[in-house]
Amino acid sequence: MLNAFSAEALKLRRHRATWFLVWIFPIGALILYSVAIIVQLSRGLPPSPVAPELESWLASAANFWGLPRSGFGRIIVTAYVGIVFAGEYAWNTWKLIVPHRSRPSLIAAKFAVSLLLLYAAFIAAALLVNLLGWLNDMARGNPLPEGITPGAIAMAHLQGLAASLPGVLLSAAIAALAAILTRTTAAAIVIGIIVITLEQLFTAFAPALSLYLPGAVEALFNALPGYHLGNLTGWILDGSGRVVPFPNGATIGWGWQGSLAVVGAWITGLTALSFWRFGRQDIN
Q: Model confidence over 258-269: pLDDT tens digits?
A: 999 999 999 999
Specify whether the CB–CB gap between 156 and 61 falls below 8 A. Answer: yes
Locate the domains of the chain by residue range: 2-279
Residue-wise pLDDT for 53-86, tens only, equals: 778 878 888 889 999 999 999 999 999 999 999 9
pLDDT for 222: 96
pLDDT at 10 over 90: no
Instruction: Find the mean pLDDT for residues 183-209.
Output: 95
Q: Is the pTM of this model over 0.95?
A: no
Instruction: Find the mean pLDDT for residues 27-35.
Output: 91
pLDDT for 47: 65
Instruction: Find the mean pLDDT for residues 265-279.
Output: 96
Separation of first and last alpha carbons in the chain: 23
Residue-wise pLDDT for 210-258, tens only, equals: 999 888 999 999 999 999 999 999 999 999 999 999 998 889 999 999 9
SS3 46: coil
Burial class (CB in 10 A: 0-12, 13-18, 19+), 56: exposed
Specify whether the CB–CB gap between 54 and 144 falls below 8 A. Answer: no
SS3 184: coil
Residue-wise pLDDT for 99-147, tens only, equals: 778 899 999 999 999 999 999 999 999 999 988 888 877 776 767 777 7
Measured CA angle at 89 (ends 167, 199), to 5 deg: 25
pLDDT for 37: 80
Query: Across-strand partners of 245?
Result: 251
Q: What confidence category does residue 51 fall into, taking pLDDT thresholds of 50, 70 and 90?
A: low
Instruction: Find the mean pLDDT for residues 194-215.
Output: 94
Closest CA to 244 of 201, 208, 199, 216: 208
* Residue spans of beta strands (DSSP E) within the chain: 244-245, 251-252
Q: Which amino acid is at 66?
A: G
For residues 87 and 121, the model is more confident at 121
Query: Across-strand partners of 244?
Result: 252
For residues 161 and 95, the model is more confident at 161
pLDDT at 98 over 90: no
Query: Across-strand partners of 251?
Result: 245
Measured CA angle at 224 (ends 221, 230), to 5 deg: 80
